Amino acid sequence: ATSRLLVNYQEPYRSQILDYLFKPNFGASLHILKVEIGGDGQSTDGTEPSHMHYENDENYFRGYEWWLMKEAKKRNPQIKLIGLPWTFPAWIGKGENWPYDYPDVTAYYIVSWILGAKQYHDLNIDYIGIWNERAFNSKYIKLLRYTLDKHGLQQVRIIASDRLWEPISFVLLLDSELHGVIDVIGAHYPGTKTVQNALLTKKKLWSSEDYSTFNDEVGAGCWARILNQNYVNGNMTSTIAWNLVASYYEELPFGRCGLMTAQEPWSGHYKVEAPIWITAHTTQFTQPGWSYLQVDGHLEGGGSFVALTDGLGNLTIIIETMTHNHSQCIRPPLPHFSVTPQRATFYLKGSFYMVETLQVWHSRLGFESGNSSLFQQLHPLKVWKGSFSLDLNVDEVYTLTTLKTGQKCGCPEPPPPQPFPSNYKDDFNIRNPPFSEAPNFADQTGVFEYFINASDPGDHVFTLRQVVVHRPITWASDADQTISVIGNFQWVNMTVTCDIYIEKQRDGGVFIAGRVDNGGIYVRRTQGVFFWVFADGTYRVTGDLAGEEILMKGLSGVRDNAWHTLTLNIQGTSASGLLNGYPLWENVTISKPSNGWAAIGTRSFEFAQFDNFHVEA
């Protein structure tokens, strides 16, 4: 759920960001895009909608992943696409929080997503995963392969298990049928190391999720080190960064852990961070299908190098000399090592003996000076009788290559940063929205979608509706309530107004909220000021999403299947609430939290509608 805010950037800024990520020989020139197969559940920084909320429901236009894959393919038709589920809609488990009890149902659901990608978006999915960082099930994986083949999807490869090297590697060595259907072993945050069993399987080994580090210079150092050392130490021929672009509210978990930052669609501001240019050192001078040369890539003075070829005479060498303290990733812990300035001599043999010059691209991460030099082209290097020497300093990256295609492209400077608008309105009146979700709302439990009320007399034809009515098969600890947050986390004083419509009779309920202090994987412990109304005609004011800290309660006269207007006013240490423009409660004392987002949501997984949202802060 990390590209949430990217979709509503205005042009030309949105296309510029996408160019930096995907356009060949421009910026990061990415080779692979891995997307979440939305399952209506919390997956770290929010929920992503499923293509099948309910058993009899199919819609291949929800969320933003279809759009993102198409934008990537538009720029680089060769980019590889991977899909992986974190969560699943409730009906997959028929009431159990487990996707493998009915493996045929799960396989049908996943294959439907792959078929929908092709049918509705002309996207060919190259790889499919099992269940992110959770248990795998051998019977399910075999059934998935069978279902793929049955639908003519022989070219879709299976990657497993997006967790650790074990037990998947051990099981592959024991189960020859499973060995026959899994193409890639993908491990997460392997710390550049693999295990003997993984090597014994003779499968491709990938670091299928890595990085996850704040995107400053240290994050760039982390990325430079693991891009090389995942192969040098661990034989991994692919490294995939979580996440692509930090396009989610920065105060959510793992803020700014993307290759670049684009979290201000309202201003158009974005930042091409150092990891983009570190990526270019590898991606602009290699392609999927190139092979790593099997050399020992450890440098004597510390650091590493890799060498790759297309088998047609081209050669690319990438060198990194990252020091320990300047290249620590978020996980796993990094054992101490030392790197010193050194002169390295390389010998080109065999067919590479004929190479006379190499193009040189260089980055130096400046920690002491504070100014880095990123992805600069230097004078070509002369190769003398198959050898050359290079003086290497610490915290540097070099690419030496026979290719002359590298480019450091730049767009005009984006607009300066601005806080979220302090006066923000959305009436959701849009007949053919480009996306299924309203801009800037970041769903943290449940899914809030544009809805057309065909039966409404006119005031509330176009609304926002919460549509997840059963708790999904979860990956994180989703709340028992649904919630979508919006705005500026630094907001202190605010007035939130919204028209609400409870659809669930008897025990239905909805809320509006301010100073909301949490989300993502921590959504269950969210605090704030929550103003609830219920279908039984009562109201409550609570200091938490769970509704346990009751600050005020009473009768409101609100009923289900009717529109009402709620207003929540928070000033300093005091809050008050209005119903349909008339005071309902006041002078409720607020001690914590001191600031946070605005939010809307429901008492449980239930249908409810919202309209004419307005916040003034």
d(CA 193, CA 234): 4
Q: Which of 36, 65, 209, 449 is catalytic?
A: 209
Q: How far apart, in Å, are the Cα atoms of 587 and each of 27, 572, 580?
A: 54, 11, 18
Query: Are 182 and 203 within 8 A, CB to CB?
Result: yes
Residue closest to 448 by CA, chosen among 31, 40, 7: 40
Residue closest to 286 by CA, chosen among 241, 237, 242, 320: 237
Question: If DSSP codes are grouped into helix, strand and coil, which group holds residue 15?
Answer: helix
Residue closest to 238 by CA, chosen among 123, 82, 23, 401: 82
Active site residue 133: yes
Q: How far apart, in Å, are the Cα atoms of 481 and each of 2, 192, 477, 530, 545?
A: 22, 40, 11, 12, 7
Q: How far apart, in Å, are the Cα atoms of 371 and each of 105, 366, 513, 530?
A: 54, 5, 43, 45
Query: Are 404 and 359 within 8 A, CB to CB?
Result: yes
In one-letter notation, the amino acid at residue 541 is V
Active site residue 413: no
Provide, for the chain, the percentages of residues in helix, strand and coil under a 3-state DSSP scheme, each rounded to the nearest 5: 20, 35, 50
Q: Which helix (H) or strand (E) holds 550?
A: strand 550-555
Q: How far apart, in Å, are the Cα atoms of 422 and each of 99, 268, 418, 419, 440?
A: 43, 16, 11, 8, 13
Query: Are 554 and 567 within 8 A, CB to CB?
Result: no
Q: How far apart, in Å, are the Cα atoms of 153 and each of 58, 270, 315, 567?
A: 20, 38, 34, 52
Q: Which helix (H) or strand (E) holds 217?
A: helix 217-232
Question: Which DSSP string do the residues of 446-500 spell out, in sequence order?
Answer: S-EEEEE-TTS-STTSEEEEE---S--B-SS---SSEEEEES-TT--SEEEEEEE
In one-letter notation, the amino acid at residue 392 is L
Residue linked to tokens 């995963």: 129
Please list the active-site residues.
133, 209
